[in-house]
Chains A and B, each alone.
Chain A
Amino acid sequence: MNEYWSARVEAALNAAKGDISIEDLPIRTNETSNAYSVRFNGVGDYPLYAYLHVPKSDGPHVPLFQAPGYGSVVAVPPYERRAAYMVLALCHRGQRLSNSQYSAAYPGLLTDGLPGEDTYVWGDIVADCITAVQILLQQPNIDASRLAISGGDLAWITGALTDGLHALQSGGLMFADIDSRMQGDPDYPIAEFNDFKRTHPDSWDEARSTLTNYDPMNLATGVDASKVMLSAGASEKSYYDKLASAVSGETTVRVNLAKGHLDHIAQEEWLAEACGIEPGPVHYPRG
């Protein structure tokens, strides 16, 4: 782990030693799982919120950190995940429910704080995720040896910076292959980089240097999960194959079929098998 991340990880781990509030969340409790609101402070005493869902079945449960995606809203974890895992879904700083001091903008978050390494907001966002994983691991009735992380960039980065991870499922990485994806007229959020470069040309080299800390390829050697799944678009396979080859654990690269039902089922079945449990109940279509 390089100097950039080691200091941030240390601060994030220290933040997890602070006070934690866990309250019942009856409206999200259902027949398969109990729901809780988790409140704690991230680095810089920033107040954060997370959903925690605990299966009503006997434990110990597989702890699953559902890393936040790129958007203002963090969804309640899917029904099947709530039934099968002790799943924690974090709202990182700037997202709804964790926006009392800072509100992220879309577009805007991806370049907020660039060009400097110390001012780029994603350093603290990653730290929020690392703190949240530690809080998940502090919960009773879990099997910490089967810790799993799922999501996009924040799953990958958190996975690379977390020791003892068992399963990592990721894909759709924004920080992957930035230079080539900025060519032409990319869609947002990648276009945010183009906007920054166009309006701050003199700062781009420094910004690009900062972003190397988030390059999935540069973080790959830190991924020590036993099992890794990477989901790739058809045009991205060669990149993800290369990324997989840089990882030490048993790695699967799955090319998405762009058919949401089949892709979702494949991902959930992989995760359950990797964690040694049955997938959560299929709820649609009902018989």
Chain B
Amino acid sequence: MTRRDPSEWKSSVRRPDDFDEYWRQTEADTMSVPLNPRLELDPMRSTSEVEVFEAHYDSYAGLEIAGWYCRPRNIDGQLPGYLFVPGYVSEPKLPTDLAMMGYAAFSAAPRNKLRSNSVFNPGYPGLLVHNLDKRTEYGYRGFYMDAVRAFDFLSGLDEVDSSRICVQGGSQGGALALLVSALRAGQVACASAGAPYLCSMMDAASLTRSYPYEEINDYLRLHPEREEVARNTLDLHDIHNFVDKIECPIIVNIGLMDDVCPPETGFAVFDQIGSDNKKLYTYEDCAHDAGTGVGHDKVMHTFLAEHLNPVAL
């Protein structure tokens, strides 16, 4: 099969005229909700070396959001912070491994994830096309804010050095890492985004038949008359339109045979990233794993540690 070079592909994402104002207002609406951070020790998951807490905070439209917070026991001074943001269908990891590395680690469960889905629960599949025809009520509007507020939660903890916080994730987590780095530019110290999702969304749906983007194909098969409405909604929420604001050192990794988040969209969003200190890692024959099984995890943790200086247990 012949194939076009994915690095030469061009995104068709448009930046809506009201993009900045829409997100300024969304952030203002979110900030009007008190964060109300809560931590409750989970004795069953805590070990002799790591304390595990069930965390909660409030977010956009007043929804309560859950997460896991892990920190080394016997803290001496402030710790670097590590925000882990989750993939689309997976449950947020319990980041005891990151605490063992010396981080104060927070793993967020944005709305629709278990423990954060009592009010908003479009499910999977479902979230990607939830209110797709209602531009300002699209499901990811609040979801994005939940990720940004997770950063605020972590940076507000006394034991966390707010000048040394990273954000990291893969797939949807890769998208959220880019988003938080953009909307908290100047506060995020460094970031790592793997196989980023939610980039050039309408294009991606035409490049693959794998879920979650297949949700868009499914939706438009039933509602072909809504294609332009859907495109307008997605452009307003496309990660591609955020990343020029990113200032921190950042690495991105993609699999060159990724059927879930096509590498074309990864190349395109990487080109748009505003930071001068950015590096793209590409992995031949890898799909949505994006090199994690062939050494990228080590690359990533080395990169983050160089910027954050954790002291491993």
> Which residues of A line the B interface, CB within 8 A?
26-28, 30, 71-73, 75-76, 78-79, 96-97, 103, 105-107, 185, 187-188, 191, 195, 198-199, 256-262, 264, 282-287
Q: Is B183's CB within 8 Å of the partner chain A?
A: no
Q: Is B16's CB within 8 Å of the partner chain A?
A: no
Contacts A27-B222, A261-B287, A285-B3 known; A71 to B89 CB distance under 8 Å?
yes
Chain A residues near B96 (CB-CB < 8 A): 185, 191
Closest Cβ of chain A to B98, distance in Å, is 11
Q: What are 26 A-B contacts with C-beta separation under 8 Å?
A: A30-B217, A30-B221, A73-B124, A75-B89, A79-B214, A96-B124, A103-B114, A187-B97, A188-B93, A191-B96, A258-B289, A258-B294, A259-B287, A259-B294, A260-B257, A260-B289, A261-B255, A262-B285, A264-B287, A283-B209, A285-B6, A285-B207, A285-B262, A286-B3, A286-B207, A287-B1
Interface residues of B in 114-136 (CB under 8 A from A): 114, 123-125
A188 CA to B52 CA in the complex, in Å? 14
Closest Cβ of chain A to B29, distance in Å, is 29
Contact pick for B257, options A185, A284, A286, CB 8 Å: A284
Contact pick for A72, options B47, B91, B94, B262, CB 8 Å: B91
Chain A residues near B77 (CB-CB < 8 A): none
Closest 7 CB pairs of A and B: A258-B293, A260-B287, A261-B257, A284-B259, A260-B289, A73-B89, A79-B209
Q: Is B164's CB within 8 Å of the partner chain A?
A: no
Contacts A107-B45, A195-B44 known; A284 to B210 CB distance under 8 Å?
yes
B286 close to A105 (CB less than 8 A): no
B257 close to A285 (CB less than 8 A): yes
In the complex, given contacts A71-B89, A79-B214, A261-B286, what are 18 additional A-B residue pairs having Cβ atoms less than 8 angstroms apart?
A: A26-B222, A27-B221, A27-B222, A30-B221, A76-B214, A106-B91, A195-B44, A199-B43, A258-B289, A259-B293, A259-B294, A260-B293, A264-B287, A283-B208, A284-B258, A284-B259, A285-B3, A286-B207
Chain A residues near B47 (CB-CB < 8 A): 198
> Which residues of B line the A interface, CB within 8 A?
1-3, 6, 43-45, 47, 89-91, 93-94, 96-97, 100, 114, 123-125, 207-211, 214, 217-219, 221-222, 255, 257-259, 262, 283-289, 293-294
Contact pick for B211, options A75, A187, A282, A287, CB 8 Å: A75
Chain B residues near A195 (CB-CB < 8 A): 44-45
B1 close to A185 (CB less than 8 A): no
Closest Cβ of chain A to B92, distance in Å, is 9
A188 CA to B93 CA in the complex, in Å? 8
Chain A residues near B44 (CB-CB < 8 A): 195, 199
Contact pick for A28, options B90, B209, B218, CB 8 Å: B218
Chain B residues near A191 (CB-CB < 8 A): 94, 96
Closest Cβ of chain A to B97, distance in Å, is 6
Closest Cβ of chain A to B208, distance in Å, is 5
A96 CA to B91 CA in the complex, in Å? 12
Closest Cβ of chain A to B122, distance in Å, is 11
Chain B residues near A71 (CB-CB < 8 A): 89-91
Closest Cβ of chain B to A45, distance in Å, is 24
A287 CA to B222 CA in the complex, in Å? 26
Contact pick for B285, options A73, A78, A103, A261, CB 8 Å: A261
